[in-house]
Amino acid sequence: MSAAIFSKIGQALRDHQRFAVLSHVRPDGDALGSELALALALEKLGKTVRVWNEDGMLEKYNFLPRAELLTKPPAEKEDVDVAIALDTAVQSRLGNTVDAIGSAKLWINIDHHPSNPGYGDLVYIDPVSPATGQILFDLITDQKLPLTQEIAENLYVAISTDTGSFQYPNTTARTFEIAAELIRAGVDVGRVSQQLYENYPRRRIELLRELLGTMRFEGRGRVVSFSLSLKMAKDLEVLPEDNEGLIDHLRSIRGVIVAVFFEELAEGKVRVSMRSKTEKADVCAICTKFGGGGHKLAAGARVRGTLAEVERKVLEAICDVVDCNS
Ligand code: 5GP
Ligand code: MN
């Protein structure tokens, strides 16, 4: 199945000259690492490549090889031959990067979100792949595209971050085989891991301290949540990226099935981030009810309302699924 579509995508990459590589707003390591990896492979083929993200490069991923290639989209539109959406479940999550594309002859969509409806002309979605970076590794090797040390390191970061350091249940033998190949291609595991997991700004841990102060449990400890208000974010001078992964502290508690993080946003909305320990409590289904999506064990949504309103509605919906009263 993948062979035919990989050769079509490979052909499109070889046949065209001008590319825009895009990914979702509020990017994570998989989004940014995948964008840079594919862009570097295209650059190595002599292509002209734009690498855009609405949020630009995040400070904490500045160590990624050739991080400077990834920018916010320009105000002036540009025509390209091919636009490529990576790791982006719905086209709207590409944010303002789409506005910078004057025209594109072809749209390619490569992703691992089960909720991806398959927008675009050439589509490859593998919902069981733990990271878009893993799909890109398969595409690159299948199509004999360049795999330099810089590309390998970007792919390694994509896979490491989306598997929670090779721990989530979607991590397979294949994931470790790919990691091994990437290490053979030159990834320095110790250095990359330190950059990823032992280089947090102090304000992130101070934020964690505040968040733990708001921690509450429902359903006899099966559901746990904490909340970040706009005031707290302002007082601590945190960046949106500082809270990525803090929800894992909630998930790590024994007896917890669903963990939730509520983040008040400026536009009268609340960003909801959810994690589950079992497919029986499908948080993608819950988030879909609120206009969001994602994976069964990790999902999110942006919900209109005040922090208190959204907390109440969302926790109620979770309790219906997790059966908090039994
Ligand atoms: P996170 O909680 O880390 O922000 O996101 C977890 C997963 O849910 C990611 O795979 C992400 O793509 C998805 N997700 C987060 N927020 C939204 C949203 O507002 N809409 C959709 N469709 N998916 C989301
Ligand atoms: Mn991903």
| Structure confidence by residue, pLDDT tens digits, 189-232 | 999 999 999 999 999 999 999 999 999 999 999 999 999 999 99
Yes or no: say if 250 and 259 are a contact pair by the CB < 8 Å rule. Answer: yes
- The pLDDT of residue 1 is 59
- The pLDDT of residue 2 is 82
| Residue bearing the CA closest to ligand 1, atom 2 | 273
Is 289 close to ligand 1, i.e. is its CB under 6 Å away?
no
Which of 67, 65, 71, 85 lies closest to 151 in space, CA to CA?
65
Mean pLDDT of 94-113: 98
How many other C-beta atoms lie within 10 A of the C-beta of residue 206? Answer: 15
Question: Which residues share a beta bridge with 216?
Answer: 225
Encode pLDDT of 223-282 as tens digits.
999 999 999 999 999 998 899 999 999 999 999 999 999 999 999 999 999 999 999 999
Is 301 close to ligand 1, i.e. is its CB under 6 Å away?
yes
Helices and strands per DSSP (H, E), number in the chain:
11, 12
| 302 pLDDT more than 80 | yes
| Whole-number Å distance between alpha carbons of 287 and 299 | 6
Which of 13, 23, 18 lies closest to 73 in space, CA to CA?
23
Structure tokens at 5: 């579509």
Would you place residue 3 in the very low, low, confident or very high pLDDT band (cuts 50, 70, 90)? confident
**pTM value?**
0.91
CA of 87 to the centre of ligand 2 (A): 5
| Whole-number Å distance between alpha carbons of 305 and 238 | 22
| 325 pLDDT more than 90 | no
| CA distance to 1, 65, 131, 135, 245, per residue, from 154 (Å) | 26, 7, 12, 13, 19
Counting from 1 in the atom list of ligand 1, the atom nearest the Cα of 274 is: 2
CA of 296 to the centre of ligand 2 (A): 13
Mean pLDDT across the chain: 96
Encode pLDDT of 48-98 as tens digits.
999 999 999 999 999 999 999 999 999 999 999 999 999 999 999 999 999
| Residue bearing the CA closest to ligand 1, atom 6 | 299
Ligand lying nearest the CA atom of residue 161: 2
